[in-house]
Structure formats: C-alpha cells, structure tokens
Structure 1
C-alpha cells in the first residue's frame, strides 16, 4: 500500500489525536524492558538492521543518496548536529536532522529544514513503516541467543522474513528517519548516534560523506566499556574507508585509539580547533556555554568538508579564518532544547494550569540535561555564569525568537532585576546507574568557587518513564505513591557533602517522615529563610518532593507569596527530568 493510501486509511478510521496516541502506544510496545538493556545482544540487533532495511525496500544506494553526516561522541554530539544542520540550511540546502533522545515529543527527533516534522507527516510515514514491517516480521518472536545465532550461521541456516521480530524502539525510529528523509528528498541528512557507534543502529550507513566524533568521556560504561580507550574504540566504529573524519581535542588515551582506527582505514582524521569569538564577527552562538565553541568548531569543519566533497565550494572562501555569512547565521540560529536553556516562567507567556498555577517573572529555570561528571562540570560553569548576571540578554542566552524550533518561546526584552532577593534552587533527579558521589561535588565545588550557593535542593522523581512513549502533552499528576527511596538516597548524599562527611549528626539522617505529607510553599520557604542545624537534626536546605508537578507548584506559590523573592532554579541530572519540566511549563 502506498504512503498516501496508508495515510487516508488511518484518517478514515480515527481522528488525528487518536491516531497519534495509537502511534505512541505502538512505539511503546517496542520497548521490551523497563530499563535500558545491558548491551548483550547488540551484535545480533545490529545485523538485524540490514534485514529491516530490506523489508522496507531501502538499499545502501538509497541511503548513500542522503549524503549523510554521521556524528558520535559522549558530550556535545546533539549540539554539533544542531550547528551543522543550521549551517547547511542557511547555505540554502534542504536538511534532515535525526537526534535523540526527545524531551517532550518524539517528533523532535526528526527535523526537516529546521522544524520538527508535522504530526500529519509523522503519522503518514510512521504507519507506512509500521505496516510494512508488521507484514514481514513475526510478532513477539524472541531474539535468538548468541550461541543459537552463531549455530544457524555456521550451518548456513538463514532466517526467513517471518523469523524476524519487530525492531526495538530505537531501531524503528532510525529506520523511520531513513524513510522520512528519502521521501522528503533532503539534500543532506545529519544523523546523531544513539549509543556508542560501532553497533549503533545508525551505523548501517556504509558511505557517509563525512564523520565526526565530539568530546569523549565515561558514560554507559556497562555497555561500552570501563575505560576511555574502550569507549573511544566503540565511537571510532563509525569511521569508514575513504570517508574523512573529524574530532575535537581529546584525552591522550582516546586520541590514540581514534588515530589508530583512522590509520587502519587509511583515512584522514583532523582535529578541529574550537572557534574563537573573533571569528564570529560579534555574532553570538545560538547555544549557550563556553563549551559550545568546541562543538561549533567541529560543526564548521564538518560542514566545510561536506560542501567540498559534494561540489559546493562556492559557499566557502579560501581563507579558512573567515566564516561565510551563511555559517555565521547558522551558528547564531542553531537551537537544541534542554541544553543550557533558560526559561523565564512569565505569567504573560505561560497559560494558567489549574493544577500547578501559572507563571511569574520572579521564577527562572535553567535547564541542562547533564548526567556525567564531565557534562556536570560544564553545566556548573554555565549556570554559575548565567546566574551571576542579572542582565539577561535574549541574544546571549539563546532566547531570541526562532521560527525553526523554538517558535513557542517569546522574544524577551533585556531587563535588570531590581530590588529582588535572588535565591538559587537545585532541582534534581538521575538514573540509579549514575553516581551522585561524583556528580554532586563537581557541581557544588565549581558553583561555590564562582560565588554561587544553593539555598534549597529538591529531589523529585521524573514523570516520564523509559518503558513508555507519550504524546508530549503535559501529564499533571500529584500521585505521591511513587517509590522515592532513590530520591531520599540522593538527598542524604547531598546533605553529607554540604555539611561534611564527618558530621556525626548525619549518621542517623532521615527526613522521610518529615516530608511524608503534602509539600507546600512553606516547606520550600523554610530552606530559603532558615539555616540548617545538623546538631539538632534540622536540615532545611533540602527536601524530597514525591511529585514533580508539586515541586513546580511549590516554586510558583513561593514567589507569589514573596513578591520580593526571585528564584533561579537549576534543573539537571536527567534529560527526562528536563523534558518533564518543559512540558509542565507548557513549552
């Protein structure tokens, strides 16, 4: 059945909202575990991707026509992809961008010419891919074990189409990206690796135009390896013969691995220099933070190479130190939710939500999905700089109006906060595989060195779950029955770091009973106006709140009850948490 026939078929049987909910339910059915897997079946799943492409009648020649830019890394790969897409779009090219994860709506993963794919187009391509794969796979077929797989291979017993299970969530989303970009006939497709590189679903691309690897660090060690060298080896798996590769300054152990892989393939590996402010001619980067100069430098090198290899040299002059106007405009307009993002919770651009109230100009959210030691350090430096400065420039902080992907954000005028008492609040959650003993000191020490201290730390569970894909609509739930034992663990670690590990009063620290009731703005105000007294077991500088909507409501109520108070809230530790906050703020 053709694409348009699929679309018309689904239009007839259900309204748009129901069709979208049905698509989200279908996507959720592809998640077989409540938590991320351990990577034990990555090889088999990667091999399956080629068969899924065949099922969708997509061959390597089709994929090559997309003229792909493939980018891996630990930190900054999403930002580098966003810069690259914006630059090439400003050069007049039709662009497709595939990134992960999404924060509010799965359609964020697919940008066409700078805008998230429309619901209508998403549904059209989604159901076509879904039905094509459903017809050629067996539902609920278990994945063969590695031994079974190798045995079949040894005896040349090849699985039939009907022995192929439906793809996992990320496999399907990657396949959908190829389908969308090919049908939309983009000039260039920028693909962000999901996890690792060598066995990532995006690595079915055999002939990209250029590859890039951003800053490397320790993340997903249970899957990618427990050393920086092992992780670098996985990332270098995207390198291809005869395809130029670029990276940024790396740790020596990582750089050695990348060089060895490039040498084995006989390909050039160039280390891109971070951009200097002088090269920008007064233009500010669209993504905030000093680290973005490194990501922008990599994006510029990648785009220059892409233009050269595709015969579009007219966009770039011979002088490499002078950036073309299109490059400057792309660097200025690039945007990416949840990375060093500032949101003013203003009443005039935040509609009333009965359950959690509405916005106030005295509440500012600083959102960054940092969740590794390296990214937490970058986040701390960014927040320290942003929170210290009372003058908020829409240009410097990336909050000028962007029709590309931030069309719901209003242009905010420069203003200076006068006669306000500013307090910093820490709103945090992270996955249990993360180590808060490492994350918290990085943040606390860097902020303190810059004169930034937190009056209150709030630990909350996220709303989003790993085992469900929702429609992006805000879910306002005051469910306080969730298990918050992990949040109390986070709180205890935080208190020990703040008050000193040797403080004997912390040995029996347990605030669970104290905060078992419904939290109010008074609970938050307590930490803002009173000091902790560990000797008497009085810890007012932190709290566990069992519901994120409760936490947002408490923050809003607090600034309403105290007009002279201005709260600067750093939201970090998890992209899930950042996305949930954005949903609740109606962004």
Structure 2
C-alpha cells in the first residue's frame, strides 16, 4: 500500500536483495527504494555505499526532499540500558528509528509532550529500544517440548542441550551480519554456561533473553557442536551466501560440525504473491535443490568439486531416509570425499523430521550440546518457529 501524504520517510541500509524485482545493481535497487519519497516531505537514511547513496540523493534532489543521514545510536544515549535486538547493525537501525520518530513528533505537534531535553531520549523511546522484538531475527530459542505420555513433563532437552539460533538472513550483507551475531552468541553461551548449572529453561523471551532455573547438570562438561540448518529460495545465489557465512564465522573462530539442508514447509512462488503453499507429503518431493546446496557446501569445506549419490532431479522415494544419530556425534574431520561419504553434511527429507531427529540425537547423548543456526530463508525460520510453537 502506498501512502500518498506521509509525514516522514526513511530508507534503511541497502544491499543486493530482491534483485529479481528491484534490479541487478545497487543503484537500481536504491532508485526503487527511493520511490517512497514524496515532494518536499522530509526523509532520513543511513550511511550507504556510494552507488546507492548517489541514487537516493538524485531522487531527493528531483523532488526537493530535505534528506538527512541519521547517525547511529550511541550507548551513551541509552541511559545504562541495552538494545534488545542483537548485533552492531542494530545501532544503525536504532539511530534511524529515533530520527524518524523525532521528526514525526515535531511535524504532528507532539514534540513538547515527550522532549524536555533535546540531548536526552524520553523514557518511552528507551523502553521501546530496550524491549523491541523481531521474531526470526537474531532470535535464540532453547528447545522445550513435552513427553508424549506426559504433557506437563519437560523432556531432557529442556535443559538447554538443543538451542536454535534463528536469523532470516538471505542476502550477502545480512548473511555476514548473521554470521557475526551467531559467532558472538555461541561464544557468549559457552562462557556463561561454565558458570552455572542448568536444569531446565522455562521460557524464551524475545531475541535471546531467557529465564532459567538452576539444577544438577554440569554444562561445562558438555561437548558443543555448531550445526547449520539451511535452505534458500532458488532466486538467491547460494554460491555467494554460503561462502560468506562460512568465512565470516571462521574469522571469529566458529566452525560448523555439520550442515543440514532441508526443504521449507511453506514457500512463496513470487515476492508479490500472497499464496502460501504447504505441502502435506514428504514422499515424492523434489530435493534436487537441497542436493545442489549440499554439493556447494562440500566444495567449500573440501576446496574442490565433490560428487554425490544423487543427480539432478532427485526425489524422496517411499523410504524416508535419515542419517543415523552417529552422524551428529562423529568428527567431521573423518570425512572422505573420495569415498562419497559426506560426514560434513546431509540432505534431510522434511523439516518436522529434522527437528525430531535433532531432539532424538540430543536425548540419546547427554554429553553434547547442539547449537543450530537456522538461516538462509525467512520461510525456513518461520517454519521452525511454528514447529517449536514459538
């Protein structure tokens, strides 16, 4: 829906996203984004790459738009509080949000009601910045589920042995941000887990805020395994996304023990389509895209082309094949691509079966803690949250 007479307009950081609709260059994308500008209506943006900024400035000049570049928010502006959304890039987003809100208040005559001091943020701003939540973006979920025979009894995985790190990154820029956040989050989890014992986690709040109770399981004794759960739409370029993810994580000392490639439950045929398709069957599903992703992953890990057992057009037959639990436990260094043995990755037949398989693996082996990064697609992240009942 287009707003003909907005009070103020804003453009966030731009990258190579939705190229099938917005164009194949950053300038084309920026030109489309600047289409929200209206004559003489104030607008804000953030620091952009020169190619994008030139297009934004040109459009602002044509429409006589008073355009300002919002400065990132500084910690000193938060009065001792912390941004609830994780990642350094959120300070950029927060700075833009504050500028937009200030401008809206000024132009609607509500400025004096909140601002007594130009330099200080009002309490309502601080509350918003410190409590804002976005599901599926830098979100941490400690898995909890009920035993089949007792809906009130939490299973062994409730002690935090299966943790999902969810971020719907699907562009090169957002994938790099996601990788930095994940690396920081798993290191923080390792550091904090050595200082207390956890029995179970009652609730997950927002983007990584958890409430826990102390108990009897010694967390520092567990073996940590970072797992990638990945899918992306075929309009994305996994040859850019996956290497960016791996290299950024590696630069922070984070390495994936395994990668799981799985089809999403829901999908959209086009960006402009509102029709959600949820397949009801697993058998007969075309998994050629997932096997393609697996081949790319193995090439990244081994530095050379690696064949697979499945050629293009592979479909899941009537026998639902899942890796043995030992696949998750074994050391990926034993991977021997010459033998077509993929100890580094697997194609999973469906997302519900993957979640169950992960839970069973963790339940069977109490000596491991599995940290699963779910990324590559907002559809995949949403489906996982749905299955985890979040």
TM-score per shorter chain, which class?
A: 0.7 to 0.9
Out of 217, 237, 246, the position equivalent to 2:35 is 237
Tell me which residue corresponds to 1:434: 236
Tell me which residue corresponds to 2:321: 518
Tell me which residue corresponds to 1:449: 251
2:345 matches 1:542: yes
Q: Tell me if structure 1 keeps the 8 A contact 2:226–2:255.
A: yes
Aligned residue pairs, count: 362
Alignment of 1:289-438 (within 5 A): 289-314=87-112, 315-320=114-119, 322-346=120-144, 350-352=145-147, 359-360=157-158, 361-389=160-188, 390=190, 391=192, 411-413=210-212, 417-438=219-240
TM-score (ref. length: structure 1): 0.58
Q: Tell me if structure 1 keeps the 8 A contact 2:323–2:346.
A: no
Per-residue deviation, 1:524: 3.7
1:413 aligned counterpart, secondary structure = strand
Tell me which residue corresponds to 1:552: 355
Map Cα deviations across residues 129-184 of structure 1 (whole Å, 9 max, x no partner). Answer: xxxxxxxxxxxxxxxxxxxxxxxxxxxxxxxxxxxxxxxxxxxxxxxxxxxxxxxx
Alignment of 1:228-267 (within 5 A): 228-267=26-65
**Structure 2 vs 1, CA of residues 327 and 453 (structure 1 numbering), >3 Å: closer, same or farther?**
same
In 1, the alpha carbon distance for the partners of 2:100 and 2:38 equals: 15
Higher helix share: 1
In 1, the alpha carbon distance for the partners of 2:247 and 2:361 equals: 27
Per-residue deviation, 1:377: 0.5
- Misfit runs of 4+, over 4 Å: 399-402, 467-471, 475-478, 526-530
In 2, the alpha carbon distance for the partners of 1:400 and 1:561 equals: 23
Structure 1: segments with no counterpart, 5+ residues = 1-201, 394-398
Map Cα deviations across residues 406-448 of structure 1 (whole Å, 9 max, x no partner). Answer: 69x9951387932111000000000111111100111100111
Tell me which residue corresponds to 2:198: none
Map Cα deviations across residues 99-145 of structure 1 (whole Å, 9 max, x no partner). Answer: xxxxxxxxxxxxxxxxxxxxxxxxxxxxxxxxxxxxxxxxxxxxxxx
In 1, the alpha carbon distance for the partners of 2:186 and 2:287 equals: 29
The root-mean-square deviation of aligned C-alpha atoms, in Å, is 2.9
In 2, the alpha carbon distance for the partners of 1:292 and 1:266 equals: 29
In 1, the alpha carbon distance for the partners of 2:118 and 2:219 equals: 43
Map Cα deviations across residues 17-67 of structure 1 (whole Å, 9 max, x no partner). Answer: xxxxxxxxxxxxxxxxxxxxxxxxxxxxxxxxxxxxxxxxxxxxxxxxxxx
Tell me which residue corresponds to 1:462: 264
TM-score (ref. length: structure 2): 0.85
Q: Tell me if structure 2 keeps the 8 A contact 1:380–1:447.
A: yes
Structure 2: segments with no counterpart, 5+ residues = 196-201
In 2, the alpha carbon distance for the partners of 1:478 and 1:224 equals: 34
1:457 aligned counterpart, secondary structure = strand
Larger Rg: 1
Per-residue deviation, 1:536: 2.7
Map Cα deviations across residues 190-238 of structure 1 (whole Å, 9 max, x no partner). Answer: xxxxxxxxxxxx22x1111110000111122222111111111111010
Per-residue deviation, 1:567: 0.2
**Structure 2 vs 1, CA of residues 212 and 418 (structure 1 numbering), >3 Å: closer, same or farther?**
same
Tell me which residue corresponds to 1:106: none
Per-residue deviation, 1:319: 2.8
In 2, the alpha carbon distance for the partners of 1:353 and 1:233 equals: 54
**Structure 2 vs 1, CA of residues 547 and 296 (structure 1 numbering), >3 Å: closer, same or farther?**
same
